[in-house]
Amino acid sequence: MREVAVIGVGMTKWGELWEKSLRQIFVETALLALDDAGVDRIDSLIVGSMSSGLFVGQEHVASLLADYLGQTPVPAARVESACASGGLALRMGFIEVASGMADIVLAGGVEKMTDVNGHEATYALGTAADQEYECFHGITFPGLYALIALAHMEKYGTTREQLAMVAVKNHDNGSLNPLAQFPFKITVDSVLSSVLVADPLRVLDCSPITDGAAAVVLCSVEMAKKLKKPIVKITGSGQATDTIALSSRKDITWLESTFQAAKKAYAMAGKKPEDIDIVEVHDCFTIAEICVTEALGLVEKGKGGKAVEEGLTALQGKIPVNASGGLKAKGHPVGATGVAQAVEIVKQLRGEAGPRQVKEAKVGLTQNMGGSGGSTVVHIFERA
Per the annotation, the verdict on 83 as an active-site residue is: yes
Q: Is residue 243 packed enough to be buried (19+ CB in 10 Å), middle (13-18) or exposed (0-12)?
A: middle
b/e per residue, 188-217, with b = 16+ CB within 10 A?
A: beebeebeebbebbbebbbbbbbbbbbbbb
Q: What is the dihedral of CA 201, 202, 203, 207, to 10 degrees?
A: -30
Per the annotation, the verdict on 291 as an active-site residue is: no
Q: Is the dihedral of CA 34, 264, 322, 18 positive or negative?
A: positive
Q: What is the dihedral of CA 321, 324, 328, 331, to 10 degrees?
A: -150
Q: Which of 152, 171, 282, 332 does the annotation list as catalytic?
A: 332
H or E element, residue 121: helix 118-126
Q: Which of 60, 83, 135, 284 does the annotation list as catalytic?
A: 83
Identify the CA nearest to 163 among candidates 174, 148, 175.
148
Identify the CA nearest to 131 among candidates 201, 54, 22.
54
Residues annotated as catalytic are 83, 332
